[in-house]
Structure 1
Amino acid sequence: MAHAHSHHHPHPHPGSQRRLLLSVLLNLLISVAEVIGGLLSGSLALISDAVHNLNDTASIAISYVARKLSHRAPSASKTFGYRRAEIIGAFANLITLVVIALFLIKEAVDRLLNPQPINAPVLLTVATIGLLANVFTAILLYRDARESLNVRSAFLHIVSDAVSSVAVILGGFTILFWDVYWVDPVVTIGIAVYIGYLSWKMLRQTTHILMEGTPENLDPRHIAADLRQMAHVRDVHHVHIWQLDEHHLAFEAHVVVDEADLPRMEQIKRALKQRLREQYGIGHVTLEFESHPCCEEASAPPCHDPLPARR
């Protein structure tokens, strides 16, 4: 048997890391300001928003550390490097966001049952400053959020906090002009449900990657059938496709060729890797060549295990 293996390494993005670090510092300042403003105004909503913002700060810090780790070179103990660090960071961020959504619902219900007097002018001033800072932070992270699931989860934290600030501001105006205290907790519940929904969708994506699931846009049965049509390839089986991170796909399979074609194995290997790279965007490929299917050996699994349809 013979093996073929290829991969490439990621390149760091110092600009992205600087933007993440700046976002951490900015959000820390927002959180401190909102805690002080909440204590001065008596607004539980503003304090809750500060707690939310502190979690945002932690989530961006996780994103920053994960980005730094993801650019470390592979080692003997981490042969794939630290590419999964960003996915793990995203997973942690999203879990905390779900917890925060539940916390906001609880706090909103408490406010409905026990309304408290609030200093609306102080509330509005601090919440508006917080909103502007959130918008600026979201703009900082927007470009990187399109390219990284980890940064996208941090970006989602910031957007959700900006929306929370809008709800606090709306509640502040209703308190200032009409003394309607129940609007703020009702809006907060709606925001919390929306945050939970978005987080759940992204959690499914990150969990799928961590479970080494096949990328949603690829079908291993279709790819195996495609490779079987190539010259000198008798069969392709034991196909596995997974994601190292959001942008790096990995593929491994057994390739059966005639014994007479073994001398041209390198040529066949190059053709297969080129097809996988150009047609399916797979850059990390491991192929095991055989002159007879290994599944013919005693106690070996079948060559073509029937794969159920996607769930």
Structure 2
Amino acid sequence: MAHDHDHSHHHTHHAGQDSQRRLFWAILLTGGFMIAEVVGGIVSGSLALLADAGHMLTDTAALGLAWFAARISRRPADEKRSFGYHRVQILAAFVNGLTLIAIVVWILIEAIRRLLSPVAVMGSTMLAIAALGLVVNVVVFAILHFGDRDNLNIRGAALHVLGDLLGSVAAIVAAVVILATGWMPIDPLLSVLVAMLILRSAWKLTRESAHILLEGTPESLDPVTLRREIPEQLEAVCNVHHVHVWSLTPGRHLISLHAAIAEGEDRQAALVAIRSLLEERYGLDHATIQLESWHQCADEPDSDERHDKADTRAARPTCCSEAG
């Protein structure tokens, strides 16, 4: 058991170092090119380039926040924060999601203004800078995409860069159309398309991180199923209630529960069996379990749990015969 926790600790530590290194390189590349794109957007007059440059400006800040969160999350637990600093990554992902939504709103407002009052765009300058931006964004996205897939902080940073990548593609297409036809509205129209693509991913990131921050139940785990299956799998357990499951990070789930043990059963053995079942069947290696005697439960279960108890009594009368 201790070995599994130690292995998990080392794996998390290594993943944290890798994430921090990937974010550092992403900051250097994104921040360095951002300056060139801001200048190019102003010179060419392209909204698509300015929108992408503005996005890259916030990306540099977002990547910096993600890097700081990855670094802080590696700190060990202390007396004030018994679970450590892992949640900092989720908070950073939530902030990045909100930032992405704000960027989308800005792009939409500016696009409407450009459609109502068209602005001349220098297609050749726009095309050259957008093409270079695409190369940089592809490299940065690859660096982050092949990192820790379960890390919401990395995912949030990658979504920012994906928005930049799509913005560069839109700017290239807009530049080609402008050079070929001179039709200026293509620039704000493609900016709106990119904004809609960014919004979908930003909303998902914000929703997932908010769910974790609100101690929401992981999608892969169902407390009702847990209450039913643990007594079914373990003869010593008559009833399971007060089940709470939440996530520290997307890859680290925690659980607390009350388990009523049949009279005459070895309570220590039952505790070990419950922990083993939770870890092997559900991947829950951090559990807080309160053991109770079947006829001396400290708290009365809710209506659903009383229904489960009745089912358990019917199915296993020998276990529950001492309830009185």
TM score, norm. by length of structure 2? 0.87
Alignment partners' CA distance in 1, 2:147 and 2:303: 40
The AA in structure 2 aligned to 1:166 is: V
Alignment partners' CA distance in 2, 1:231 and 1:209: 34
Alignment partners' CA distance in 2, 1:205 and 1:62: 18
Query: What corresponds to 1:251 in structure 2?
Result: 255
Query: What corresponds to 1:138 in structure 2?
Result: 141
Query: What corresponds to 1:236 in structure 2?
Result: 240
Query: How far has the Cα of 1:259 moved from its partner?
Result: 4.6
2:288 is matched with which residue: 286, 289, 293?
286
Pick 1 or 2: higher relative contact order, CA cutoff 8 A, min separation 6: 1
How many residue pairs end up in the alignment? 294
Question: Is 2:195 the counterpart of 1:197?
Answer: no
Query: How far has the Cα of 1:305 moved from its partner?
Result: 4.5
Q: Gaps (5+ residues) in structure 1?
A: 1-5, 296-301
Alignment partners' CA distance in 1, 2:163 and 2:59: 9
Question: Is 2:152 the counterpart of 1:154?
Answer: no
Counterpart secondary structure, 1:236: strand
Query: What corresponds to 1:303 in structure 2?
Result: 301
RMSD value, Cα:
1.7
Asked whether the 8 Å contact 2:223–2:243 carries over to 1, the reply is: yes
Counterpart secondary structure, 1:11: helix
Query: How far has the Cα of 1:50 moved from its partner?
Result: 0.7
Query: How far has the Cα of 1:145 moved from its partner?
Result: 5.1
Question: Is 2:104 the counterpart of 1:104?
Answer: no
Alignment partners' CA distance in 2, 1:141 and 1:259: 54
Q: What's the % identity of the aligned pairs?
A: 36
Counterpart secondary structure, 2:249: coil
Alignment partners' CA distance in 2, 1:11 and 1:103: 38
1:215 is matched with which residue: 209, 218, 224?
218
Query: What corresponds to 1:115 in structure 2?
Result: 118
Question: Is 2:41 the counterpart of 1:38?
Answer: yes
Query: What corresponds to 2:314 in structure 1?
Result: none
- For 1:128-167, what per-residue CA distance to the aligned partner results, in whole angstroms no more than 9, with x for missing partners? 1111100000111111152311101111111111111111
1:180 is matched with which residue: 176, 183, 195?
183
Alignment partners' CA distance in 1, 2:192 and 2:39: 24
Query: What corresponds to 2:84 in structure 1?
Result: 81
TM score, norm. by length of structure 1? 0.90
Alignment partners' CA distance in 1, 2:161 and 2:274: 44
Q: Gaps (5+ residues) in structure 2?
A: 306-324
Alignment partners' CA distance in 1, 2:154 and 2:303: 38
- For 1:195-215, what per-residue CA distance to the aligned partner results, in whole angstroms no more than 9, with x for missing partners? 112211222211111111111
Alignment partners' CA distance in 1, 2:182 and 2:244: 62
Query: What corresponds to 1:3 in structure 2?
Result: none
Asked whether the 8 Å contact 1:73–1:81 carries over to 2, the reply is: yes
